[in-house]
A and B are shown apart, each in its own frame.
Chain A
Amino acid sequence: MTVSTELASQSFVLLRLGERRFAISARQIAELVPPSRVFRFPHRTPKLEGVILRRGRIVPVCDVSEMLLGKQLTSRRFYLIAVRNYGRQREWVAMPVTGECELIKAEMMAAVESDAPHVAGWLSHEGDVIEVLNLDALTPGPEQALTEAAAPQRAEARP
């Protein structure tokens, strides 16, 4: 590997959701943990299932499969805990995944305007072209609430 390609390649974590694989920048990953009890309480934020307790922290669980696959996961083997930015604040978000995750080095092609907002870029790995996810667009946050407020649609409470 030449110095130039070494500089250009970054570390990514490959995750599996159903039959598809996606990537997230390794810098955004906190840990991969086995499924634990999800504590649910009423709220109105779509995609959030509840929270888990991890090392004394309360971590929201966000199922992104519906947005990425168009259906909910029937089985989940791990929670991938990633760091989500909220302006200058950073918080953990747990995402259910269906298989083991893999750390790889690859070069990312930046997303283009026509890509969905949750696509940060693309990478090529073992013959597959894999979406690199932009967690800030994929998981809920105040900016999504503002967008939804513009479209008058009332979300149902999720106990």
Chain B
Amino acid sequence: MRLAAPGKPSPAKTEQIILFRVSGQLFAVSSASVQEVRSADSISGAATEISAPGLRKVSHVLRRGDRSLFIVNGAMHFGLRAAAGALLFVLRKTRTALLIDGIEKMTAMTRLQALPLSFCHEERQWYRGLAALDQTVVPVVHPEGFLSPEELALLDGALLQADNSAGATLEGTDSAQ
């Protein structure tokens, strides 16, 4: 008896990813999630300071028309050793611009493995899963995982407060003149 010839294996689906470093630690992000890559120096003039209580990882905001992008320090977000950050990833469909050390390379992953269930704290929001690449394991970040809805509300509040006090200062200057 002859066994039926196995069907032609369908090509494995791949996802383009960017490997990047934060405080020396390697991470991956889907390249489709990255809208823009900017040098941190290039935005230093455009970004304004912001301070939300208990949220040290965001110290600057980038205004783009009606939209505000919060600059998240990757090292602080992950609880890593503080690093200045040289590049910014503007993450698509989020209000996050992520400050990172640099890009390692672009590559493709064929399989994203779920984060083991033993990991049961904030990392479940941080990561989409883990990828085994070239005999190493890299966490693949979740673009929406850098700022929770509560943190965004806190930042929006701080932004509003900053705008109001700037408006009041401007009014005071006008009346003095």
Contacts and interface: CB of A to CB of B under 8 A. Distances in A.
Interface string B115-127: 0111111110010
B120 A140 contact: yes
Interface in A1-48: 39, 41-45, 48
Interface stretch (B37-45, B93-101, B130-138): B130-138
B20 interface: no
- Interface size class on chain A is 20 to 34
A91 B120 contact: no
Contacts of B23: 159
Which of A43, A91, A93, A140 is the most central at the interface, judged by chain B CB atoms within 10 Å of its CB?
A43
B72 to A, nearest CB: 14
A145 B130 contact: no
A93 B80 contact: no
Contacts of A42: 25, 78-80, 123, 126, 139
A41 B113 CA distance: 15
B130 A58 contact: yes
- Interface size class on chain B is 20 to 34
A65 B2 CA distance: 55
A59 interface: yes
B116 A44 contact: no
Given A43-B123, A45-B123, A60 B116 contact: yes
A84 B119 CA distance: 13
B136 to A, nearest CB: 6
B117 A43 contact: no
A41 B139 contact: yes
A151 interface: no
A133 to B, nearest CB: 15
A140 B118 contact: yes
A58 to B, nearest CB: 5
A127 interface: no
Contact of A159 (B80, B121, B132): B80
B136 A44 contact: no
B135 A53 contact: yes
Interface of A: 39, 41-45, 48, 51, 53, 56-60, 62, 84, 86, 89, 91, 93, 139-142, 144-145, 155-157, 159
Interface of B: 23, 25, 27, 78-80, 113, 116-123, 126, 130, 132, 135-139
17 contacts: A39-B136, A39-B137, A42-B25, A42-B78, A42-B79, A43-B122, A43-B126, A44-B79, A48-B118, A58-B130, A93-B116, A139-B118, A140-B119, A142-B120, A157-B78, A159-B23, A159-B78
